[in-house]
Chain A
Amino acid sequence: MRPSNLSGVGTFLAKQGILVAFALFMIGFTIANERFLDPDNIMGVIRSSAILGVMALGVTFVVISGNLDLSVGSMMSFATIVVLDLHDKIGPTLAIPSMYAMVLCLGALIGFLVGYLKLNSLIVTLGMLSAIHGLTLTYSGGKNMDIADKEGTWFSVFGQSDALGIPVPILIFALLASVLGLALAKTPFGRKVYAVGGNGTAATFSGIRRARVVFTCYLASAFCVGTAGLLQASRSLGSQNTVGQGLELEVLAAVILGGASLLGGSGTIFKTVIGVLILGFIQNGLLLVGLQFYAQYVVTWIIIILAVWLDIAAKRGKLWSPIA
């Protein structure tokens, strides 16, 4: 039972705090720089959030099932490097499915370790973060990867073209968000994800195969990471080994900003999309007001801390409590 020690306004702030903070940011940025609300700028923000967004969709599944995935950043680097490398070796038509297959294998491995062997997801995915980074470096021999013929390939459609006047990355993000949103909210599998994250023991007692559900969540996450890698590779047609570095925390920040609890059992795809956009607009706003790019790392961290704090504050109904 949650204590109701907050006044009406307080409860609203704790529950909707993120939206309120977001609104304040938006107003502030708009005053500071009139370009902020420019349609081009807005489209640009959504477009550049798409890659992060696609990854956040998968991580939402993992977080709701009560686990973490810190490997998505380095897995995204891996996907990007692999698909770029194979592009020249076996052609884009084969490169794309091969990349997905490899990434899904990595996801399956994590899913096996966390789901079936019941190892702690933080440890497993933190380990994978560095293992996959090593894998990427080994694969590429430490070199950056570039497509030889940048003009003559259709591979750039995913990252660079428009369809119906909307950039393709945004369309892919929207499509994936709709499909996964429905899967989570409306299908039996989605229901099981919530059950496993909400109370794993009770889920088992209800005949849900917990390991299988967790496993599938990591597969979903890997699939999303593969897609993000595809978008990234297609946009730049060349890449460093470290494109995805640090993205795992930004992704997590977006998911938590959206209101998914790190304890599992709550959150939605829709809210994650909101979280992604909030993060994107805040980072863009900070750039526009002239904050150095590197300062963003600090800001992202502060946002994560704020989000986590508001999350538990909303749960216990007060901003501070002497007991846990």
Chain B
Amino acid sequence: MSNQTPALRLEGIVKTFPGVRALDKVSFSVMPGEVHALMGENGAGKSTLMKVLGGIYQPEEGRIIVGEQPVVMTSPLQAKAKGIVFIHQELSLAEELTVAENIYLGELPKKSFGRVDWQQLYAQTDEILGRLKVGFDAKTKVGDLSIANQQMVEIARALTVEAKAVIFDEPTASLTDAEKVVLFDVIEDLKAHGVGIIYISHRMEEIFKITDRISVLRDGHYRGTLTTAETDEDEITQLMIGRKLDLSRNASHHEIGDIALEVRNLSCGKLFRNISFDVRRGEVVGFYGLVGAGRTEIAETLFGLREPSGGEILLDGQPTVIHSPADAIAKGISLVPEDRKGQGLILGMNCRDNMTLPQVSDLKAGPFVAEGAEIAIFDQYRDRLDIRTPGWKQLVGNLSGGNQQKIVIGKWLSMHPNVLIVDEPTRGIDVGSKSEIHNLIRELASQGYAVIVISSEMPEVLHVSDRIVAMFSGKIIRTFTSEEVTEDNLIQAISGITSDKAA
């Protein structure tokens, strides 16, 4: 590998934003046929570096060399023409268009007189979708797909061009295990064809599974490159955050209290049926299952976003009807939603205003918003969650993905709810902050909150939960206590294989 020409080389890249030196003389290269991980904390500059490479940002200094040739990337289209394909961290699809149109946007196959050759388009698209083994076809409207499937569309785009290098910016953040397997096959395939792959992820297991080398960024500086086969998690984290991580679970010897939330035979059309469970104060209940198992829909029903078609919800033993999110909030329920960009944040609004939005009517000084109180709240959660931003005035849309997620978490923690529901809380969050958030969830429970954690990451569910509800296809298959749960019986439960023990 060493005497080959890199597929791609970045030299001394500098990129600044007002108040932030996002990249400071970063150099980095990828060999053909190599999977090269790019790691670093939230806000370290990974996405920015890739956006420089993809022609979205112009660096102030530095060179990009594709093959042997220095190039100046002025636009994403040009980058694509040079064989650099970018799969973004934040989805960038046109929801109103079909899957096929999205994949070939700008390059639709044409017949005479510039008419679109739809047959050809759908055939080409279905072939690519076939390679990805997805359960939808070329004519599906993207807006109708789940986030995970939208991610697959994004990935399908990459397969349409002769790529020299493909950049995956946290592609698995919203994929299920099954979809991940498919993605890894695709990556293997690209690799076998000599494509250089840059892979950004915060998930260690993936990094060890598929990458050859790992480069680490910290605060916009290049920190070094490790060979995956010769390193371990500790060394990487050390490089990333400058210290070792303590991953042990806070021994939780707090009291489990009364039932805060109880759900009896709750149903919502075809989405989920006959759901019964309870959550006690001081307890963390994890919901684990495949995408489409109905977990998010239950959360949305509890938060007043969907009307149940049957069943009961009881808060502190009292039967309640939750009419709207405003109503849910008034009743002490908070929901950290799964889609931070669509549901969690107002990207064009600053950090402080986003964080205090649900309680803005309560933070008053006379007729006006008490901005001092708002800033105090923001500062508290910025410190607690280690949110990296030059200040509260920064627009949320300018934060890195992980820091955006932390704003959403801070927003709902600051409501001090009785029942806190978090849907994929650590999506896109770096290892250090992740364990920080896990600790925080445990700590909240110990303070008497009832917490529901929905997650597609098994280690996460296993790590934070006192009990785990396994769901499959809209039904609860089994509820495990943390003593009886194992990876195996959990996997069995969520894949719909009914064992003798299944309830």
Does B5 belong to the interface (CB within 8 Å)? no
A172–B133 Cα gap in the complex (Å)? Answer: 66
Residues of A within 8 A of B75 (CB): 3, 5
Residue of A nearest to B337 (CB): A205
Residue of B nearest to A323 (CB): B106
Q: CB distance B364 to A195 under 8 Å?
A: no
Does B269 belong to the interface (CB within 8 Å)? no
Q: CB distance A205 to B344 under 8 Å?
A: yes
Q: CB distance A207 to B329 under 8 Å?
A: yes
Q: CB distance B346 to A198 under 8 Å?
A: yes
Does A322 belong to the interface (CB within 8 Å)? yes
Q: Which of A163-206 contact B (CB under 8 A)?
A: 182, 186-188, 191-192, 194-195, 198-199, 201-206
Q: CB distance B344 to A202 under 8 Å?
A: yes
- Asked whether A202 and B345 contact (CB < 8 A) given A1-B56, A207-B326, A209-B326, the answer is yes
- Asked whether A199 and B57 contact (CB < 8 A) given A204-B325, A205-B335, A322-B77, the answer is no
Least Cβ–Cβ distance between A14 and chain B, in angstroms: 16
Does A4 belong to the interface (CB within 8 Å)? yes
Residue of A nearest to B304 (CB): A207
Residues of A within 8 A of B335 (CB): 205
Does B353 belong to the interface (CB within 8 Å)? yes
Residues of B within 8 A of A209 (CB): 324, 326
Least Cβ–Cβ distance between B43 and chain A, in angstroms: 14
Hey, what's the 0/1 contact readout for B337-350 against A, CB within 8 Å counting as 1? 10000111111110
Q: CB distance B345 to A187 under 8 Å?
A: no
- Asked whether A1 and B397 contact (CB < 8 A) given A191-B369, A199-B347, A205-B343, the answer is yes
Q: List 21 A-B pairs, Cβ < 8 Å.
A: A1-B398, A3-B75, A182-B368, A186-B367, A188-B361, A191-B360, A194-B346, A195-B346, A195-B357, A198-B346, A199-B342, A199-B347, A202-B345, A202-B346, A204-B325, A205-B337, A205-B344, A206-B358, A265-B348, A265-B349, A322-B106
A198–B105 Cα gap in the complex (Å)? Answer: 26
A4–B59 Cα gap in the complex (Å)? Answer: 10
Most-contacted residue by chain A among B330, B349, B364 (CB, 10 A) = B349
Least Cβ–Cβ distance between B30 and chain A, in angstroms: 22
Does A249 belong to the interface (CB within 8 Å)? no
Residues of A within 8 A of B353 (CB): 191, 194-195
A195–B357 Cα gap in the complex (Å)? Answer: 8
A265–B106 Cα gap in the complex (Å)? Answer: 29
Most-contacted residue by chain B among A188, A198, A208 (CB, 10 A) = A188
Does A266 belong to the interface (CB within 8 Å)? yes
Does B74 belong to the interface (CB within 8 Å)? yes
Residue of B nearest to A191 (CB): B360
Most-contacted residue by chain B among A1, A186, A207 (CB, 10 A) = A207
Residues of B within 8 A of A208 (CB): 326, 357
Q: Which of A238-276 contact B (CB under 8 A)?
A: 265-266
Checking A1, A3, A4, A192 against B360 with a beta-carbon cut-off of 8 angstroms, the contacting residue is A192
